[in-house]
Amino acid sequence: MVTKIPLPDPATLVSLPLFRGLTTEQLSALNELLHLKRCPAGTPLILSGQSGEICYIILEGTIKIHVEQRDGTTVILATLGAGDSVGEMSLVDDSNRCADVVTLEDTTLLWMSRADYYGCMRAIPEIACNVARILASRLRAANEQIMALATLEVESRVARQILALSS
């Protein structure tokens, strides 16, 4: 179910990485474009190959980003929680989705359409800067993961993953 939401406490919105540094006026304008979605555990949000039409911001809950392999196995690319966003890559590069996304628990999300997302990035440059920071952070994490897979023994990779999941 999708409903229009009243502006959450500006401190809540501004604490989200995508909206960090925005003024109260910018947050109020942004609120006109945001929608609320509540999903039970196990709800598919994004399917690989879909057109990227929506960006989600997680308010509560956890999601899993994964890819199904030809042999039926699943590779988990990331587990994201409150404050994280998902789906912005397809909005930025206008490509289809590259992975599946499913809720792991009851999850509350904000979402924004592609057209509104582009409009916000043009009208509120801080959002474009925040998107660049988010994507750079993910790229750094991916580079670290690639380096670990290429250089660490299995036991060290497992220990590294356990530490990552605990933080």
Q: For residue 104, what are its two tokens?
A: 């792991």
Phi, psi of 156 (to 5 degrees): -70, -35
- What would the pLDDT profile of 95-154 be if each residue is shown by its tens digit? 889 899 999 999 999 999 999 988 988 899 999 999 999 999 988 988 887 887 777 677
- What would the pLDDT profile of 21-31 be if each residue is shown by its tens digit? 999 889 888 88
Give yes or no for a contact between 6 and 28, defined as CB atoms under 8 angstroms apart.
Answer: no
Give yes or no for a contact between 100 and 67, defined as CB atoms under 8 angstroms apart.
Answer: yes
